[in-house]
Amino acid sequence: MAAIQDRFKQIRTFIFDVDGVLTDGSVNLLATGERFRTVFIRDTYAIERALKAGFRVGILSSSNADGVRSWLTAMNVTAIFMGGPSDQKVNAYLGYIARDGLNEAEILYMGDDIPDYAILNRPVVFSTCPADAVAEIQAICKYISPVDGGRGAVRDVIEQVMKAQGKW
C-alpha cells in the first residue's frame, strides 16, 4: 500500500473515460433518438475540488455526447477529447500529453474497458479502474477502486490523491 500512496503523491493530472467511469455505463434512449447518461454528484464534487486545488482534469471518450460536454464545460474542465474511433483513444491521450507538455509519471488515468487498454497498459501512467471494470483492464491496472464506475470511483481516486498530498 505504501507504493500506491507514493504514486498518489506524484499525481498532477487526472484523465477519465466517460462511459463506465464517470457514468455506470448505461445509456438511456429516448423515443426521439436522444441518449442521456447519469453522473454521480460526488464524482462531480471531487472534480470541482481537484480543479480548484490546481490539478488538471482531462476527459477522453470515444462517445461525443453534447450533454456530457456541456456538463464538463460547466465545471470548467477544458481538456475534453470526445468523439472518434475507440481504437484511436491512445492517440488523443498522446496528443494531450504533447500539447500540454504533461509528464506521464504525474498522470492518473481511469478507464474501464478494452478501448482504454492501450493507455492503461503504458508503463509510466498510473493506471486505475473502477471495481466493475472488465477483467482485462483490472489485470493491468495498478489500482482498482473498490467503487463501481458512475457510483464514486472518480471521487475515490481524486480523494485518495488529494489526501495523500494534504489537499483534501
Q: What is the dihedral of CA 18, 23, 26, 31, to 10 degrees?
A: -80
112 assigned binding-site residue? yes
17 assigned binding-site residue? yes
116 assigned binding-site residue? no
> What is the grid cell recorded at 148?
463501481
Which strands, in side-by-side order, build the sheet including 143-144?
79-82, 56-61, 13-16, 107-110, 126-129, 143-144
> What is the grid cell recorded at 162?
488529494
- In angstroms, the CA 90 to CA 80 distance is 14
- In angstroms, the CA 98 to CA 139 distance is 28
Annotated binding site for substrate: 19
Annotated binding site: 17, 19, 112
Annotated binding site for Mg(2+): 17, 112
